[in-house]
Amino acid sequence: MDAIVMAGGFGQRLGMGEKPCVELLGKPLISYVIDTLRATKNIDKVFVAVSPVTPKTEIMIQERYRGEIQVIRTFGGNYVGDMIHAVETSKTTGPVMIIMSDLPLIDADLIDSVIGKYREEGKPALSVYVPINICKGAGIRPDTVFNKDGKLIVPTGVNILDSSQIRKEQEDFNLILDNPKLAINVNTIQDLQRCRDLLQCSN
């Protein structure tokens, strides 16, 4: 399975320039996601989708990974449109993982377990959520909340889709994981500090 890292957002709330390039313990945010995907045994190629507002991200990826990661330029402004363009440009076949660039705490075991669940369920698409109490426990105020069978859940920015049906609505399995590593995506200075503290504690 290939993976596409979505890195076309400027990250205005963070206010530190292009969010994928923001450094956390001396490493760009997006590199935590790329390096995790590259270390995941079930992920083949990794692509990065940039937009007109993230030109420095494109340059940084090219310099840091020396052609090992293909950068795809999207038009920006429409997340779904950019995602479809990225999938079609990548020429990936079969299932593809779509993941946000601001999840520095994820690890290879977590990605592998998500892929394993996708294969087990057999539906065209899978979306990963955390219960809202996981966000509250991590001190996060989520932007988007869904009600699933009376339970409030929050999307994590990790999805798997069937690339052959990328322009169609796909039957979707909701994978709900009680994992704080998925709850923290970096939108604010406080999120960045929280990730710094957690990464330093784990080392």
Determine the residue type at 43.
I
Asked if pLDDT for residue 86 goes beyond 80, the answer is yes
Burial of residue 168 (CB within 10 Å: 0-12, 13-18, 19+) is exposed
Enter the DSSP assignment of 167.
T
Q: What per-residue confidence (pLDDT) applies to 175?
A: 96
Asked if pLDDT for residue 203 goes beyond 70, the answer is no
Q: What would the mean pLDDT of 50-61 be, rounded to a whole number?
A: 95
Contacts of 142 (CB under 8 A, 6+ apart): 132, 135, 154
Write a three-state SS string for 48-97: EEECCCCHHHHHHHHHHHCCCCEEEECCCCCHHHHHHHHHHHHCCCCEEE
Over residues 161-179, the pLDDT tens digits come to 999 999 999 999 999 999 8
Give the separation between CA 129 and CA 153, rounded to whole angstroms.
6
In the chain, % of residues over pLDDT 90: 71
Over residues 119-170, the pLDDT tens digits come to 999 999 999 999 998 887 777 777 789 988 888 999 999 999 999 999 999 9
Q: How many residues does the chain have?
A: 203
